[in-house]
Amino acid sequence: MLKFCSLYSGSSGNSFFVQSDDTNILVDAGVSGKKIVDGLASIGISIQNISAILVTHEHSDHTKSVATLSKKYNIPVYANKKTWNAMKDKKEKISENNIFYFHNNQSFELANLTIFPFEIPHDAADPCGFNICDANSKICIATDIGHITPSILENLKHSNFILLESNYEPDVLKCSSYPYKLKERIISPLGHLSNIEAGKTINYLSDFGVKNIMLGHLSNENNFPELAYKSVLEQVESQDLNLKIASRYCPSEFFEVDKENNTIIC
Ligand SMILES: [Zn+2]
Ligand SMILES: [Zn+2]
> What is the per-residue pLDDT across 81-134, written as a single tens digit (0 to 9) for each?
999 999 999 999 999 999 999 999 999 999 999 999 999 999 999 999 999 999
How many Å lie between the centroid of ligand 1 and the Cα of residue 23? 27
Q: Which residues of 185-209 are buried (b: 16+ CB within 10 A; e: fewer)?
A: ebbeeebbbbbbbbbbbbbbbbeee
pLDDT for 167 equals: 98
Say which CATH number the domain at 58 has: 3.60.15.10
How many Å lie between the centroid of ligand 1 and the Cα of residue 124? 7
| CB distance 165 to 217 below 8 Å | yes
pLDDT of 266 > 90? The answer is: no
Which residues span the domain enclosing 159? 2-265
* Least distant ligand from the CA of 13: 2
Task: Round to whole Å and give the CA distance between 105 and 118.
Answer: 5
Task: Round to whole Å and give the CA distance between 78 and 81.
Answer: 10
When pLDDT is cut at 50, 70 and 90, the band that residue 265 belongs to is very low
Give the H/E segment covering residue 173: helix 170-175
How many Å lie between the centroid of ligand 1 and the Cα of residue 190? 9
Give the H/E segment covering residue 143: none
How many Å lie between the centroid of ligand 2 and the Cα of residue 13? 7
DSSP 168: B
Q: Which residues of 52-83 are buried (b: 16+ CB within 10 A; e: fewer)?
A: bbbbbbbbebbbbbbbbbbeebebbbbbbeeb
How many Å lie between the centroid of ligand 1 and the Cα of residue 59? 5
Residue 2 pairs in a beta bridge with: 257
How many Å lie between the centroid of ligand 1 and the Cα of residue 146? 9
How many Å lie between the centroid of ligand 1 and the Cα of residue 148? 15
How many Å lie between the centroid of ligand 1 and the Cα of residue 29? 13
Task: Round to whole Å and give the CA distance between 46 and 238.
Answer: 38
How many Å lie between the centroid of ligand 2 and the Cα of residue 260? 31
Task: Round to whole Å and give the CA distance between 203 and 52.
Answer: 33
When pLDDT is cut at 50, 70 and 90, the band that residue 264 belongs to is very low
* Least distant ligand from the CA of 143: 2
Count of CB atoms situated within 10 Å of the CB of 247? 16
| CB distance 8 to 38 below 8 Å | no
What percent of the chain lies above the pLDDT cut of 70? 97
**pLDDT by residue (tens digit) across 61-78?**
999 999 999 999 999 999
pLDDT for 26 equals: 98
How many domains is the chain partitioned into structurally?
1
How many Å lie between the centroid of ligand 1 and the Cα of residue 201? 19
